[in-house]
Structure 1
Amino acid sequence: MQMLEAIKKKIGSAQDLYSVVKTMKALAAVNIHYHTRAVEAITEYHQSIEMGFQALLKEKPEILKKPILRNERRMGIIVFGSQRGMAGKFNVMIANSFMEWERAKAFNYSQLKIAVIGERAEEQLKEIGYQPAARIDFPESRHNLNSAIQELLILVELWRFREKIDDIYLFYNKLKRGVIFEPFQFHLFPLEQGWLQELALRKWPSRNLPLYTLSWDQLLSSFIHQFFYISIYRAFIESMASENASRLTAMQKAEENIEERLDNLNSQFNRQRQNAITEELLDIIAGFEALAKY
């Protein structure tokens, strides 16, 4: 009976865990849907920012001819990971992607400034030999995104003006299709010359350029700030969608493992119960036979 009670207790624990896994799986699926829609909205807003740059470049195309001086020894890297666990290979993939990129570029590590988003990503980077200079906790929900974005924007401005960092890259996971995601890198600063040149050559959708009351320099500064904001926002949303995709995959595997575990435990329980019943029947028969002799 003690064996039966022990197995029954294990079955109860497995069923409780199974319920938690199914709930997490459902939440991950809902979050993926929400974040996918958010990415679509971001894309539309990004197009509006592009039109702003396009109008300014039509006004002063000569700024594209100015040489851009870069000090390749001063690189700023922002790696987006997760705050919580149970996300499969999510943090491993983005950390390894950055490591491969850094080695391929043959940079000296002392020339890099690394900031990381998420405690688990920081742990993963340290595990492969990097020491991030700053860490920002990943927001617990999308409703707290703005404060984290503002914190990153302050860091970007600090890097640009005080640290004199010349290139800033974002590293984050990005959904490809379904629940499949892949590491992605984005050159945040300086703005890509090829992209700006393409905007300058792009045909304006109407006959007249928009009028504005602010100075050209003020508008350019404002659009650059908006570009930074929306790029960081996109990185957060893409990363959150990928994290939930990874968690969904991990929960599906956990669900399958628990189902297999429950099948084994139920089989053990049935065998033990059958053995107990058989033993009781044999005891009854033995007792009956003993009484029959008298």
Structure 2
Amino acid sequence: MSDGIEALRHRIDGTADLQSVVRTMKALSASNIGVYERAVQALDAYYHTVELGLVACLRQPDVPLVTETHPVGNPVSGVIVFGTDQGLVGQFNDLLADFVVHTLPELPGNKLIWVVGERMQDRMEDHHLPLAELFNVPNSLNAVTALIGQLVVAVETARERGKIHGLYLFHNRPGEISGNYEPIIQRLLPLDALWQRQLRAQPWLTNRLPETLGSSMQTLAALIREYLFVSLFRACAESLASENASRLATMQRAEKNIGEMLDALKHSYHQLRQEGIDAELFDIVAGFEGQM
């Protein structure tokens, strides 16, 4: 009897420790969601500045629209997929991987895929997709900048060498419902012609028309790199917010299950302990009656 009670006591202690870990992970995920959501909101002002720069460049008479060219032969589409390195995120990677697999045939030509996250890499390899390079998921907001810099360099190098024609981005972004997320695709390159015309048609903020210093085309190229940077940064931050939202939902379910298990273990412990006390009382009563 005592061995059974002791074993239950150990199980209760282990379950309580696990509950504490889950609560800590839940609090950390909730905190991270706020950090990355605020980062996405802060990007709006920076993106607006880049957009104003593009408006200024595209309004210059010597800057034509950046039109989509038709490469000779079979074009290659560059693809960036944001996944996770860590687990406990539910169907986060699986849903995005399925979305990528079903959407890739709609993109032109062959594919060259950069993957962020080892677990997403595993999903891509399961579908035998061609992977160019793996990048680690940043573990903090400060590390996002370094990752995006590496991605921009990889994309620009591939473009300069003629390895890719367009660039497409896959990631999860937070949904309207708390803890929910949805996979999306963005075409970053070539720049959308309609979007460029809309930028050209935007009225300037003041009566002083903008001018570019130096070469307008060089300035435009620099602004396009900034456009890539801010778009990738936003996608990464949205992916990290979605990852933490998925982990938070997973931890909430785990906390509920652990709580129910802990209640059941405590009930069994008290019941077994009461049975032991009752047995000892019966032995005492029986011994006393035997002496009468």
TM range (shorter): over 0.9
Q: What is the TM-score of this pair, normalised by structure 2? A: 0.93
Q: Which residue of the other structure, out of 86, 100, 103, is the alignment partner of 1:101?
A: 103
- Offset at residue 70 of structure 1 (A): 4.6
After superposition, the Cα gap between the structure-2 partners of 1:21 and 1:275, relative to the gap in structure 1 and judged at 3 Å, is: same
Counterpart CA distance in 2 for 1:64 and 1:201 is 13
Q: What secondary structure does 1:59 align onto?
A: coil
Structure 1, residues 149-178: CA drift from partner, whole Å, max 9, x if none? Answer: 111111101221224311111111111223
- Offset at residue 273 of structure 1 (A): 0.7
The aligned residue for residue 288 of structure 2 is 288
Task: Give aligned pairs, total.
Answer: 289
The aligned residue for residue 137 of structure 2 is 138
The answer to whether structure 1 residue 260 and structure 2 residue 260 are counterparts is yes
- Offset at residue 122 of structure 1 (A): 1.0
After superposition, the Cα gap between the structure-2 partners of 1:181 and 1:113, relative to the gap in structure 1 and judged at 3 Å, is: same
**Amino acid of the residue matched to residue 55 of structure 1?**
A
The aligned residue for residue 80 of structure 2 is 78
Counterpart CA distance in 1 for 2:238 and 2:107 is 28
- Offset at residue 205 of structure 1 (A): 2.0
After superposition, the Cα gap between the structure-2 partners of 1:241 and 1:57, relative to the gap in structure 1 and judged at 3 Å, is: same
- Quote the sequence identity (%): 36
Counterpart CA distance in 2 for 1:34 and 1:250 is 19
Paired residues of 2:168 and 2:186 also in contact (CA < 8 A): yes
Counterpart CA distance in 2 for 1:125 and 1:250 is 23
The answer to whether structure 1 residue 169 and structure 2 residue 168 are counterparts is yes
Paired residues of 2:78 and 2:113 also in contact (CA < 8 A): yes
When structure 1 is superposed on structure 2, of 118-127 and 20-29 the one drifting more is 118-127
Counterpart CA distance in 1 for 2:133 and 2:66 is 35
**Amino acid of the residue matched to residue 75 of structure 1?**
S
Q: What secondary structure does 2:168 align onto?
A: strand
When structure 1 is superposed on structure 2, of 174-183 and 15-24 the one drifting more is 174-183
After superposition, the Cα gap between the structure-2 partners of 1:244 and 1:49, relative to the gap in structure 1 and judged at 3 Å, is: same
Structure 1, residues 173-215: CA drift from partner, whole Å, max 9, x if none? Answer: 1112232211111112111112111111122222222233221
The correspondence of residues 99-138 of structure 1 with structure 2, limited to 5 A, is: 99-103=101-105, 105=106, 111-138=110-137
After superposition, the Cα gap between the structure-2 partners of 1:65 and 1:277, relative to the gap in structure 1 and judged at 3 Å, is: closer
Would you identify which runs of 4 or more consecutive aligned residues in structure 1 move more than 3 Å?
Answer: 70-73
